[in-house]
Structure 1
Amino acid sequence: MGDVVYRSEARIERVAGPLRRAFLPGEKEPVAFGVHGAIAEHYGRAPGTYDPHATTIDYVVAATAG
């Protein structure tokens, strides 16, 4: 096994409900994670009761496709 060449240092902060802030390497500002559309509906969030943001799964899909 080779030497570890990179270790990500990320921190997640829960804001309220599904809203979280991720402090990620290479980003000057925190990244907001939350819910939107069908995902918000699945979790029982009524329209207008949350500020829509990309979900963590949106980021996983984008990272995989990239």
Structure 2
Amino acid sequence: MQVANKELKSVFSHNAVELDFSQVTHVDTAGLAWLFLLLEQAATHNCQLTFQGLPKKLDKLIELSGVQGLLPV
């Protein structure tokens, strides 16, 4: 986990980061929670994080979770 945290700090050292999820084929609620964790970490480092190519399956999870409009796409 420390390696992952070190990598995230390196990525979030930029002013803005765009993550492309167009090759992701499966997503669940743990993945949705991870996206919000990434947003929190980016904000901690004053980095603007946006997501591109989020799987369509994620739309239903977002709706069921009541977090519509909270992900920067």
Which category of TM-score, normalised to the shorter sequence, fits these structures? under 0.3
Question: Relative contact order: is structure 1 or structure 2 higher (C-alpha 8 Å, sep ≥ 6)?
Answer: 2
TM-score, normalised to structure 2, is 0.26
More helix by share: 2
Largest Rg, 1 or 2: 1
TM-score, normalised to structure 1, is 0.27
